[in-house]
Amino acid sequence: MKFSLCRMAGGRSGEGFTLLELAITMAIVGILTVSVVGLYAAIGKRQREINTKKEMETIREAVSGYYQSYLVLPTPDSGYVVPVGELDLSPNAQTDEIYSGMYYAYVATNDGSPFSELQVDGQSIGNSAMVLISSGANLEFDEDNGDLTDGLYTQDGSTADFDDILICLSANELASDISWRREIEEEVAVLVQAGTILAENDDDGDGYVDEDSTDAPGNSDSNTDWNLVTGTESLVNAGLLWNADHLVDPWGSEYIWNSVGHEFYSSGPNKTDEGCGGDDICP
């Protein structure tokens, strides 16, 4: 007995598929392939955008940290390139690698220099501010972002081709980032006032204000001896400073007495006394 190698079904003969059936099958497969490829492309594009935004946020945080330390925004490298050296970032952070290695555009102004202000979508973000821009998948800076030299930039584009990604640091955000500075200024003001009282009211040099029990109260000889102020310890000894929180700045360093200018100041984030230079914070 002979058996056919083709399976029989539905009462059909073993003749296989007709040309029409094959054509329909190929058409369905083609449609499914196009749909799947398109879906993967859309997912890939979305993931690239997410990764780019994460990278840009990392740069933004580094710029914010730099400003908190030095009270100034780092200037761009040549060609409005991210200054990775100053920000202690990898050189790869200069380029949007997800979009073929295109450089990010980094623009910053400090107290109106070199731009009087930066504007995003027609709204000012301040005269100390920063914008960071990715050119998007089309590798072109669109609309206002096409000219980086005028201080005008676009975040929400008005054309179908706009695909730039822009993030910024406004003057208000930067001011909020350094709210600790106000705390330092207030503490320095308290110290300077206490130093003045000590210098004007300790006639016999015993380190106590309003004299001891054998002396008349107040500045009996009308002389101001600034040498009586030698630092926060002299204020403590005189009973003028009783809150230990006022002895050190937010970085744990004792406030420094400037015997020439007769004022206290902070050595700043780097904890190095630079004589009111560098990142020192002075009245």
My answer on whether 172 and 184 are in the same domain is no
With a cut of 90, say whether residue 220 has pLDDT above it: no
Domain stop point among 133, 154, 177 = 177
Q: In this predicted structure, which of 48-52, 54-58, 202-206 has the lowest mean pLDDT?
A: 202-206
* Residue type (1 letter), 171: A
Q: Tell me if 76 is assigned to some domain.
A: yes
Same domain, 206 and 159: no
State yes or no: pLDDT of 210 exceeds 80.
Answer: no
Tell me the average pLDDT across 184-196: 90
Stretch (H or E) spanning 118: strand 118-120
- How many Cβ atoms sit within 10 Å of the Cβ of residue 16? 9
State whether 103 and 49 are in the same domain.
yes
Structural domain including 188 reads: 180-265
The answer to which of 9-18, 71-80, 159-168, 178-187 has the lowest mean pLDDT is 9-18
Number of other residues whose CB lies within 10 A of the CB of residue 209: 20
Whether pTM > 0.85 for this model: the answer is no
Number of folded domains that form the chain:
2
213 falls in which pLDDT band (50, 70, 90)?
A: low
- 3 vs 6: CA distance, rounded Å: 9
Check residue 17 and give its pLDDT: 66
- Higher per-residue pLDDT: 32 or 212: 32
Determine, yes or no, domain membership for 229: yes
3-class SS of residue 244: helix
DSSP sequence for 158-174: SSTT---EEEEE-HHHH
Same domain, 125 and 186: no
Q: Is residue 235 part of a domain?
A: yes
pLDDT in tens, 60-94: 999 998 998 788 999 999 999 999 999 999 998 99
Q: Are 216 and 112 within one domain?
A: no
- Checking if the pLDDT of 247 tops 90, the result is no
Q: Of 144, 177, 210, at which residue does a domain stop?
A: 177
Work out whether strand 123-126 and strand 129-134 pair parallel, antiparallel, or are unpaired. Answer: unpaired
What count of other Cβ atoms lies within 10 Å of the Cβ of residue 132?
23
Is 156 a member of any domain?
Answer: yes
Residue 13 belongs to some domain of the structure: no
Q: Are residues 227 and 118 in the same domain?
A: no
Is 125 part of a structural domain of the chain? yes
